[in-house]
Chain A
Amino acid sequence: MQSIGKSPPKASWWSRRQLDIVPWIFLAPAIVVFAIYVIAPIFQSMSLSLYDWDGLGQPSYIGLDNYRELYDDADFYVALKNNVIWLFGFLLAVPIGLAIALFLNQNVFGIRAAKSMFFFPFVISQVVIGLVFSWFYDPTNGLLFHTLHFFGINDTVAVLSSEDWVTYGIVIAGLYPQIAYCMILYLTGLNNVRADLIEAARLEGAKGWTMLWRIVLPQLRPATFIALVVTVIGSLRSFDMISIMTSGGPYGSSRVLAYYMYEKALSEYGYRMGYGTAIATILFFVMLVYIVFILRRIYQQEKDM
């Protein structure tokens, strides 16, 4: 980055200092609200995690006790394990999105409409998607039950009330809009793949998987990077679907850290703000790994420009 030329020197103080002060005037409103609502709360949460607080009375300082309690909390490990399932399950959105994008990357009549219809699930609220999928899994009348029945499988499971299946069931619902998102990223990427490179490779006899792997995917790297970023972040943010479909049940078996934190902090059995923020702090540090990774990449791009 380089600065735009300085204005010619004039006498007055304002014109001399203008270029030092003006940027902060432009930035002030954004920085102020962002600092109050986003930056400060991160540190407030971290410090609150060292307290025992019911949200009403006086918080009492208890050092690392919340973290010690977490260390022995079986529910915490269930949530953590579910986060891992979410992460890996969600990553399937990337190759599936790519597959659909490749399938749709043609020029036939009506394909543009088809592309935007395929993208549709992303536009709709996760609340609605969660509702439909909970009907889909309904053990007496759900479509899943009917379909399995049709194929002669009769001992079906009630997915959302089974401790073993519930998280997978919700992840699949969460994948639905996420696949649409990855697909649109890849469709845009494919639009910009260089035709001359493809043709040259084709002349040399490359096709199918070799072409995809050697020629196309390298050119899709920006799309892949963004797809991975939004998918990983999305998986760690999973909350809506769990709240809608199971409220963390049965017996807390579908909770993830984000949901567990919410439940602890604002539970109907009494607020435990300190314990909740301790969970949030751990989730934050997990996410921080990705944030640093993303910022590093942006930094490198900035340097190259």
Chain B
Amino acid sequence: MTAQHRKTAVLRLLGIAPVLLLVALLVVFGLIDGRVVDPDNLRNVAVQAAPIALLALGAHVVLLSGGIDLSAGFAVGLCAVVIAQRLTGGDGLLVALLVGLAVALAVGAVNGLLVGYAKLPPFVATLATMVMVQGATLKLATSGVLLTNDPTLRTLGVERVGPIPVAVVATAVVGALMWAAMRGTRFGIRTGAIGSDADAARFSGVDLRRQQLLIYVVSALMVLACAVLVVSRTPVVTPNVGGVSLLLDAIAAAVIGGTSIFGGRGTVGGVLVGALIIALVTNALRVFGVDPSSLDLYKGTIIVIALLLDAAIRIARSRVAAGVAGAPR
């Protein structure tokens, strides 16, 4: 094997850095406590990763374009409350989902219009809508707790297809659709182009305003998907569902999965693996029985270490790639 072949092999290996990180964590956590890698627990990890993954896919699209959607976590709460209210009010699932869709699209459209057409910085625009969404949720959630009991939702949240939970299958399907959209459609190509170089994208004919609008609408659709999954898994809906903690998990999953916070780079597969990593870390700390006071400290530390490892792998990859490109042929 020539030096160049070796470098290419290393490059391929580093290209799957998030997967390597996931495997490393599984090995380390498994050595600390074997219950973490028990098949039943790994199935739990996959299920617990599903809502994070769905929200992270939306975050991935926005981050890819160089933006950020801070309203997404609280929008999950708003959609969940709206859906649960319709269900407990006697409406069918379809009506509840349509109302949830309308709310999600409204939030996405406001974000998209503020960022794309009003030219507000995404951080400021979505921070404002985040507060707005919080307030709207409070206005709606007057009963505090909503109990849902829809059999179809229960199938989504609880049942399995063979050994695989339906929630995981559904998330995989959404992930596959997102992968196809980002790889094979003008929407995906243009989103990445905006994040890489917005001016170049505009000169090449991309309508930035319309594209930004679409991006935040797609993010809102992922918010809705996440809300549906949350309601299906937990029949107890409170106004504080989602929120900052879920948003941070989703953004961390996207970034660990290789999506650049500066835009232009990232993959759907990486995001899904990133969600698994976040869920695994949370789950493992629970299994270890870490003192509740220290849980966030440990979780934050592990995520920082994971991000640093990820960054180191990326630097190594870019160096190897530069070496491959510069090698004599």
The answer to whether A and B assemble together is no
Which A residues lie at the B interface, using CB under 8 A?
Answer: none
Chain B contacts to A: CB under 8 angstroms: none
